[in-house]
Amino acid sequence: MDLNTIDHEDFDLGLLTVEHANELMGMIAAMPPNKRGMAMKKMWNKKSPITMENGSRGKMLRLLPYFPPEIRRGLMEKRLQLVDSEYYFVKSVAGVKNIKMIQDTDNKSAGLGNVSKQKLEKDNHFCLSGVVLLTGVAANKEDVTFDVIPHEIRNGEFEFKINGGKAITPASRVSCEIFDTGNRNDTRRGLWMLDNPKPVEAEQAMEFNIDFATAPAANTWAKAILIGSSVVPY
């Protein structure tokens, strides 16, 4: 670590380990008085701490202690950066009573999904802050216009699991009503924003399993989108 860390756009004392915080303060204490004052002023006069932001980046940074220590170090040393990420999955749900939206047979394919084998790739560290569920009707998947879920899906229930089978809600199954944004204009269509964002580990299975109240109509397609932030190289 060096004093240039203070100039990083993602600098936040709350993200430093105890060891790194002690190291930084020791460097500042060893500076001449005039430079020491300038460094302290620069450190404390930065914009509001990143960890106080309510966007996906702020949520990701608050969860960094749950990720490998090299991730936090890479962000502070400008070797890594945070980017907005969305992972999606499209499935035919016509005439079925339940569906696994994320399956171990999935392969990346334009229009069908951008995740393979039910898990994120090696070193892909992701903070899940929201889930979108939409549906649409068309004979061909390429012609679907996805929109708010209909009653037969809204009245069903789902379970969502990450990191090899850990449920992300206190109740193992939740009403799909949570994805109904039909009467709202203050949020993205079909969005369930998590009050408690979750770290998703790389190479660990995810599950999004839905049971419908009744089988959706012919030619019905569902689209699930996972929203959050990922860590990538600069």
Of 5-19, 36-50, 146-160, minimum mean pLDDT range: 5-19
Answer with the residue of higher pLDDT: 15 or 91.
Answer: 91
* DSSP string across 90-105: EEE-TT-SEEESS-TT
**DSSP 8-state code for residue 214:** S
Segment 64-123, tens digit of pLDDT: 777 777 887 787 777 888 889 999 999 999 999 999 999 999 999 999 999 999 999 988
Q: Tokens 């890594």 identify what position?
A: 80
Of 31-35, 38-42, 68-72, 195-199, minimum mean pLDDT range: 38-42
Q: Which residues of 9-28 are buried (b: 16+ CB within 10 A; e: fewer)?
A: ebbbeebbeeebeeebeebb
**CB 143: neighbour CB atoms within 10 A?**
11
Percent of the chain exceeding pLDDT 70 equals 81
37 residue type, one letter: G
Rounded CA separation 193/174 (Å): 14
Rounded CA separation 133/225 (Å): 7
Is the pLDDT at 152 greater than 50, yes or no? Answer: yes
Segment 75-92, tens digit of pLDDT: 777 788 888 999 999 999
149 residue type, one letter: I
Rounded CA separation 158/95 (Å): 17
Walk me through the domains of the chain, giving residue ranges and CATH numbers.
3-81 (no CATH), 83-233 (2.60.120)
With a CB cutoff of 8 Å and minimum separation 6, the contacts of 218 are: 94, 95, 137
Answer whether 3's CB lies under 8 Å from 28's CB.
yes
The residue count of the chain comes to 234
> Which strand (E) or helix (H) includes residue 62?
helix 56-62
Dmax (CA) for the chain in angstroms is 75
